[in-house]
Structure 1
């Protein structure tokens, strides 16, 4: 007795051919692929010119790569009937656009499978092409065109954006130098706690002009709807945002603020190391041994690390490193405070303290003070707008690093931008192409 939830086996339903307007009439297993013979369900025997009924003339074969089942690629062998009009003599063939676009080599089911593999399973185009049994260029062109149609060219993906993040990264390393792109991230879902951040767009270059040009190309109502722009310490992004988004509040995220303080601490350590020993740090030098411990938050230090710092700061010649380390730890403590108002007060107090009176010997702190004073409103703006940080932007940059590794690098910027938008643009095709 068959189980009541099961039905009679049907190759047409199993392979999703019914949604393509096809019906399976035969099958063959070759060593390198599975071949399914199909026919078009809709007769389509009426002339579109005069309306007369057409007489069957002959049959042509159309082959389409389909989603694989198992380890073999699947090919649809479609027998398409041609008709000749009894009235006007016009000749036409059955419509197969439900199965695949005109002159396409991959079925719509195969395109959906390849797109899901690229986005959800993070497969390479080479692996997708092997699964479909087509060339790399055929798979890449067809899937990217489908991705542009379903996501990249969809104007709705810019709707509802109120918070953006901007950053840059290297997309290609060459012997002539690194090539940069500017990435714009939609941080609205993170701020509203409705979902993860997503890649909004990507443009070649990294400068004020690049970001300003991109903002100027957006519709005015869209620009007026932007409330917050999260960014790093690059002043070009801040200036571009101020000119094109005058009502938006700039926010410098904690990652880059702490990084500025960490760079000041590292530069101070190297300078003192050279002043004391006349050379760069070596394995047995106390300052060199403590280089990672110095960058660890005070609340995370182990007993061994704390003892190492106590011994380091016990020497008077390391007093400048100790002073810079104290400022670094004050800034970390301010950001880690659970009370955002109290954290804001502590960080503002720290900025005022290092801006008021710092000995001339502490050149790194004085430089840090100038930067933080100029960007004080941006730095403290983080505490006034919960959930606004460029941290998700760095996370997406990490995902794009993984994408470049999977693809073994990119040479074509247009392909890289399209693949990046599919990878991190919030596009989520159905887990199964037919669901």
Structure 2
């Protein structure tokens, strides 16, 4: 059976279509983007009231060039289809609240729990948009503050050690001597000790390797303030790790505050003051041991999606594709 030249030419064109042309055809014709009911306002906000549920998460994420969007997701959907409730340009509480108030008041009042970070803006959004929901500040944000405080002290000592090393080298140079830095029993110089201790300070002592145990022993002997800060960070981690009740956690937290006060470590005093302002929201973690992991997972998927597309050129189309995956049923 003979095939007409027209059919051959059509097949040849089909199989040799370039990626750019196909992408354009998909966007303009195949995807349904131009007929999307939220197209007109998509770069400002998109909303899926039907995806709301009793357990929500709210967080911010960057789409491109540091431009932030606030995302509200349904935690029970585990970042799968119909998990996206809203995406709003910016983090200004008034703008996000205005969009969320388009959801039926009865549905918003049925929200029982919302996880969030320490942002005052996020707290205000939750308070007004979901007035009957318990706010739960994510424990990992709290633990990160403590870890950052430990690292801040380590880095300050590292700069001092580098300065001391430079001065010693200069003295040797002036005296015409060869510079031989002091080395600890594990072979580290002082700057090396402080650099190489970074990762062990993030871990529990029982998870240290033999080399890390040796390094930690030297570090804590040389820098008692790092040891004290590490102890405070670790004890805070243990408060959240224990499967305990809210009242017991409250007592443990009060004891931790006393330790911070006795330590006189400035950065931890700042953390303690921050915790005091968010005390009830932090302790709400013990109601259901809820975290903002769903929001963090959603953010990670956005970043991966963005990386695969080599950046966001058309925000509306990017949000459309994201909505197709996470906003609508498949």
- What TM-score bracket applies, with the shorter chain setting the length? 0.7 to 0.9
Q: Deviations over 1:329-369 (max 9, x none)?
A: 112223333x2438x73575135432576247400110110
Distance 1:240 1:398 in 2: 23
The answer to whether residue 197 in structure 2 is matched with residue 314 in structure 1 is no
Using a 3 Å threshold, how does the CA distance of structure 1 residues 283 and 213 change in structure 2: closer, same or farther?
Answer: farther
Contact 1:270 1:280 in 2 (8 A): no
Quote the RMSD (CA, aligned, Å): 3.7
1:274 positional shift = 4.0
1:399 positional shift = 0.8
Distance 2:23 2:55 in 1: 38
How do 1:251-290 residues align onto structure 2 when only pairs under 5 Å count? 251-274=136-159, 278=163, 284-290=191-197
Q: Greater strand percent: which structure?
A: 1
How do 1:159-178 residues align onto structure 2 when only pairs under 5 Å count? 159=51, 161-173=53-65, 178=66
> Which residue does the alignment assign to 1:137?
24
> Which residue does the alignment assign to 2:296?
394
**TM-score normalised to structure 2 length:** 0.77
**TM-score normalised to structure 1 length:** 0.60
Secondary structure of 2:125's aligned partner: helix
Distance 2:204 2:140 in 1: 14
Distance 1:280 1:264 in 2: 25
1:313 positional shift = 0.8
1:377 positional shift = 1.3
1:390 positional shift = 0.9
Q: Deviations over 1:179-223 (max 9, x none)?
A: 111111111345xxx978822221111132233223223221121
Q: Deviations over 1:263-292 (max 9, x none)?
A: 111112223334565479998432221011
> Which residue does the alignment assign to 1:431?
none
> Which residue does the alignment assign to 1:297?
204
List gaps (5 residues or longer) in structure 1.
Answer: 1-25, 36-67, 74-125, 429-435
Using a 3 Å threshold, how does the CA distance of structure 1 residues 207 and 369 change in structure 2: closer, same or farther?
Answer: same
Distance 1:333 1:196 in 2: 35
> Which residue does the alignment assign to 2:256?
353
Contact 1:215 1:244 in 2 (8 A): yes
Question: Which structure ranks higher in relative contact order (CA pairs < 8 Å, sequence separation ≥ 6)?
Answer: 2
Q: Deviations over 1:202-256 (max 9, x none)?
A: 1111132233223223221121111111101111110222233221110011221
List gaps (5 residues or longer) in structure 2.
Answer: 167-188
Larger radius of gyration: 1
Contact 1:258 1:328 in 2 (8 A): yes
Q: Greater helix percent: which structure?
A: 2
Distance 1:356 1:401 in 2: 39
> Which residue does the alignment assign to 2:112?
227
Secondary structure of 2:53's aligned partner: coil
Contact 1:233 1:256 in 2 (8 A): yes
Specify which of 68, 72, 76 is matched with residue 180 of structure 1: 68
Distance 1:427 1:186 in 2: 14
Using a 3 Å threshold, how does the CA distance of structure 1 residues 202 and 268 change in structure 2: closer, same or farther?
Answer: same
Contact 1:290 1:308 in 2 (8 A): yes
Secondary structure of 1:393's aligned partner: helix
1:383 positional shift = 1.6
1:295 positional shift = 0.9
Using a 3 Å threshold, how does the CA distance of structure 1 residues 311 and 218 change in structure 2: closer, same or farther?
Answer: same
